[in-house]
Structure 1
């Protein structure tokens, strides 16, 4: 059975919204908790204990000088996909912290982007049972042409909350 923490309980409550509103409700909630993600128009398409799917639309507010999604917006999509996923699993007694953000821009992104991250059962068990540790979370970035122009990998740590 999956252990629920405050984040996963909140997501479970928000998932009860009508289907046509779920992405908006989840995105608004996370955008309020993490203002930079909100300003970057990060959209939470799917969030479970083992998978997250985040999108950013190619709109003027997130574009660079050549009309594609800015490198920083791509990085925030990757960080959000992995961070929200780790946050769904880390016990309430701990806090998740990004340790390493590795982003290799190989080609220009065209159109909207989707960032998808996964945790294995072994990784989830590690997060749940170790008081502190770290986990490497790969994330796939797919653009509007269904290509992977950016390769990403994030290392997340968790430590006990300070009392």
Structure 2
């Protein structure tokens, strides 16, 4: 059996401890420091799926008191990145290429950002990772996809 990717391995080890998910979330946010601006919490990570929580705090709100859509985009990108790292086959690599989202409802509570590619096959070229953000009542507030460019890893000499 193939060894799990490092991100998934770390998550699985650390999430067993009481503050493990919080520690993992902080650690993962260090890779792309802008993620720290939303103070994310990785709720779940498995091959093909990641869920990230954004707490509704003043720092992520807009002028009408809802969670700002850019904060939600940040959470969706973090969920996508963790999902991609936990899922992509060892011989491939990825980089984000674009994002297409619809804002479907006001984000008036904590937001759960989900990336889910469990039914997809990784291959070279454009890869559209489905992403969805939900409020505390499971109402979809943002839905769309993040386009990744997937390519072969270069040969190491």
Q: For 2:98 and 2:72, locate their aligned partners in 1 and report how far apart those are by CA, in whole Å.
A: 15
Indicate how the Cα distance of structure 1 residues 97 and 10 shifts in structure 2: closer, same or farther if over 3 A, else same. same
Q: Does 1:81 align with 2:79?
A: yes
- Note closer, same or farther for the CA distance 1:7–1:110 as it changes in structure 2 (3 Å cut): same
* Length-normalised TM-score, structure 2: 0.85
Deviations 1:6-46 (A, max 9, x none): 32233233234x1x312202211111122111122121111
Structure 1 gaps of 5+ residues are none
Unaligned stretches of 5+ residues in structure 2: none
Q: CA RMSD in A?
A: 2.1
Q: How many matched pairs? A: 155
Q: Contact 2:131–2:144 at 8 Å: present in 1 too? A: yes
- CA contact 2:101–2:142 (8 Å) conserved in 1: yes
Separation in structure 2 between the aligned mates of residue 83 and residue 37 of structure 1, nearest angstrom:
11
Q: TM-score, normalised by structure 1?
A: 0.82
More helix by share: 1
CA contact (8 A) 1:78 1:152 kept: no
